[in-house]
A and B are shown apart, each in its own frame.
Chain A
Amino acid sequence: MAALKPVSPMALASPQRCDTAGVANPEAALSRRFLYYMSLMREAEDRIERKLYRQGKIVGGVYVGRGQEAICVGAGLVAAPQDVLFPSHRDLGLFFIRGVEPREVFAQYMGRAGGLTQGRDANMHMGDLNRRIVAIISAMAAAVPVAAGAAMALKQQRSPNIVFVFFGDGATSRGDWHEGINLAAVQKAPLVLICNNNQYAYSTPLDKQMACRDVADRAPGYGIPAEIVDGNDAWAVYEATHRAAEHARQGLGPYLIECKTFRMTGHSAHDAGDYVPKDRWQEWGAKDPIVRMEQLMLERGYASRQQLDDLHAEIRGQVDEAVAWAEASPFPDPSTLTDNVYEPAPAPAPTVEKA
């Protein structure tokens, strides 16, 4: 696998999957892209969690970002194609923004050879250096020091690019989180830190996770700026991330954005989330980021209801096709089990026949 070095933009899969060619107003075009990626993420994850998992076609853990789509999509659309992304386990939208095909995602979830990890790892544990997405490990916040290192390297290389790392509120309790941020801050590394504060970590509510009120309160201890945004508003996330990215690109160091949101699902597909008070589902259900984006687009005349319905129909069609492809694709061959633990030895030089 290639090292994390600059690749030509041509090598990246088209990040422009969402067709906005006919949309003249840039805000209307961006709104359409927000809606497209959020809806694609929702549709894909609904299919994964509510259908394929229940049918037993996906085994193991399934974690979705239902209700939180505005965070990864709003922030992800700020990133330049060569910026480096470290998604967490509820940030599927980032993969689509980077041009990962839905079928690769379904194949990943179903343990097929065509998945991003070829069946080696599960669910959101996937990455692709060619698309400048680093795969998480399971341990929360372990990506933060790694992202700090990537940012330090980009700085050393005088790269114009920066690093975005995503995590939940619970992850900020890990020592790795604090060590990574402190190092990046001291080094003024170009790192944008994006927290989805969905108010639960598995069953643990915020007040059992931290004694400060906001995750943003942690930033002053490291001498970095932070801001709090409405995490269910893609535009708000986008604008805040834009400020953070400018800060990082100017060499001013890390910047933390806390996106207030709610996990509109249990922790994972096997957890109904019974410990969440019912009124909170209602309260946050009314703030659904996709519905809100549609309302904004309709109010501002960026799209008609018909156009929005067409977009959703298009997405459903795409997902249908992707699922069918993944289901038809093979499982990895068990004979490949021990391949690629290490770099394969170079093929022996051809022996020259002596006459």
Chain B
Amino acid sequence: MQVTYLEAIRQGIWEEMERDPSVFLLGEDIGVYGGAFKVTAGMLDRFGEERVVDTPISESAIVGAAIGASFMGMRPVAEMQFADFISCGFDQIVNFAAKCRYRWNAPVPIVVRAPSGGGIHGGPFHSQNPEAWFVHTPGLKVVQPSTAYDAKGLMKAAIRDNDPVIFFEHKALYRRIKGEVPSADYTVPLGKATIFREGRHLSVITYGAMVHVAAEAAEILEQEGISMEIVDLRTLLPIDEETVLASVRKTSKAIVLHEATLTGGVGGEISARITEKAFEYLDGPVLRIAAPDTPVPYSPPLEEAFLPNAGKLLEKARWLVRY
């Protein structure tokens, strides 16, 4: 069945709620309204008010309550209306949820959903990609799917996982990306990257919406006789180092691409691991392509200049191949 990225996420949540009565949802406008992006549409009618909880505007309480309920054996899925508001629940995530298992062996099986990303003219507070804050927090798992298949499979795996998972959903993919999704139950394992497209001459390591930017560039490079491999990380924490290193050992050239801003981003971490562990395989510097270190601007020409795109990737890829 062909479904959108959004519908895949919805199905993943829905099926887990059918399967496991301990799964419940909480967030702002998720019930009657079905969520700002309609990811939870229809769930109130199907599962009722106790399992689809419309909350006050209280991100800290939403995450905190999810943690508390998880101690009692529940598997809450909390929605942040936009990833940009996750900072309002930051302490509960990075200090409460993330540190319980290590400190006192208490698992926190929660999922915090966060619609993230730019390209929708949302401006500085409806466009951010804050994954690196959480990748820097041991104890969390951080996920960002790029396809409908992965979105559904990762959502199911995240809900079943016994650690806190921050689940970034790229808003620009919600209705733009469609893909085949099996009707039988399946999961996509957390912590496993995938080869989105095979190639020989260089590897681009990326995730989320940028996978599709990389695919666009790969098509163009193909016509120039350049074969670019695309590694889709899918999970950002824990990092699937092996898949990244195997790709780079094969192609000897690597670019890390992400939509989030450059400094302190995931790209630095990936790049460091490649140079530490596959240095002798490299035939050129590990490059990074990311948004510049500014807030996400609103005005369309500024946002267009801000976001990484196929053109920027092509330029660096051609340079690196010739290196």
Question: Which chain A residues have a beta carbon within 8 Å of chain B's beta carbons?
Answer: 59-61, 111-112, 117-123, 125, 137-141, 170-171, 173-176, 201-204, 208-210, 275, 331-334, 336-338, 341
* Bound Cα distance A14, B126 (Å): 34
Question: Which chain B residues have a beta carbon within 8 Å of chain A's beta carbons?
Answer: 28-29, 32-33, 36, 54-61, 82, 84-85, 87-88, 120-126, 292-295, 297-302, 304-306
Instruction: Rank and list the top 5 A-B pairs by shortest CB-CB distance, nearest first.
Output: A119-B299, A138-B125, A173-B56, A111-B299, A203-B33
| Cβ contacts under 8 Å, A275 to chain B | 32-33
* Bound Cα distance A112, B302 (Å): 10
Contact among B85, B125, B298 for A117, CB-based, below 8 A: B298
Contact among A60, A119, A140 for B57, CB-based, below 8 A: A140
Q: Given A60-B298, A111-B299, A209-B57, does the pair A202, B29 have CB atoms closer than 8 Å?
A: yes
From A120, A123, A341, residue with most partner B Cβ within 10 Å: A120
11 other contacts beyond A175-B58, A204-B29, with CB at 8 A cut-off? A61-B123, A118-B299, A120-B123, A138-B84, A139-B84, A139-B85, A141-B57, A171-B57, A202-B33, A208-B54, A336-B302
| Cβ contacts under 8 Å, A209 to chain B | 56-57
Q: Is the CB of B56 within 8 A of A337?
A: no
| Cβ contacts under 8 Å, B295 to chain A | 120, 341
Contact among B123, B294, B306 for A122, CB-based, below 8 A: B123
* Bound Cα distance A203, B36 (Å): 9
Smallest Cβ-Cβ distance to A330: which chain B residue: B301
Return 17 A-B CB contacts under 8 Å, by A number: A60-B120, A111-B302, A120-B295, A138-B82, A138-B85, A138-B125, A174-B57, A204-B57, A209-B57, A331-B299, A331-B300, A332-B301, A333-B301, A334-B305, A337-B302, A338-B292, A338-B294
Q: Is the CB of B56 within 8 A of A208?
A: yes
Contact among A122, A208, A210 for B298, CB-based, below 8 A: A122
Q: Is the CB of A60 within 8 A of B32?
A: no
Q: Is the interface of B mostly helix, strand, loop or mixed?
A: loop
* Bound Cα distance A173, B65 (Å): 15
| Cβ contacts under 8 Å, A141 to chain B | 57
* Bound Cα distance A341, B305 (Å): 15
| Cβ contacts under 8 Å, B126 to chain A | 60-61, 138
Q: Is the CB of B33 within 8 A of A337?
A: no
| Cβ contacts under 8 Å, A125 to chain B | 123-125
* Bound Cα distance A337, B122 (Å): 16
* Bound Cα distance A117, B297 (Å): 10
Q: Given A204-B29, A209-B57, A275-B32, does the pair A61, B299 have CB atoms closer than 8 Å?
A: no
Contact among B36, B54, B58, B123 for A121, CB-based, below 8 A: B123
Smallest Cβ-Cβ distance to B91: which chain A residue: A175
From A118, A121, A336, residue with most partner B Cβ within 10 Å: A121
Min CB–CB distance A288 → chain B (angstroms):
26
Min CB–CB distance B142 → chain A (angstroms):
21
Contact among A170, A203, A333 for B32, CB-based, below 8 A: A203
Contact among A120, A171, A173 for B124, CB-based, below 8 A: A120
| Cβ contacts under 8 Å, B302 to chain A | 111, 119-120, 331-332, 334, 336-337
Min CB–CB distance A269 → chain B (angstroms):
13
Q: Is the CB of A122 within 8 A of B122?
A: yes
Min CB–CB distance A53 → chain B (angstroms):
12
| Cβ contacts under 8 Å, B29 to chain A | 202-204
Min CB–CB distance B26 → chain A (angstroms):
12
Min CB–CB distance B246 → chain A (angstroms):
36
Contact among A202, A334, A341 for B36, CB-based, below 8 A: A202
Min CB–CB distance B85 → chain A (angstroms):
6
Contact among A60, A139, A140, A331 for B87, CB-based, below 8 A: A139
Min CB–CB distance A93 → chain B (angstroms):
22
Contact among B123, B124, B297 for A337, CB-based, below 8 A: B297
| Cβ contacts under 8 Å, B300 to chain A | 59, 111, 331
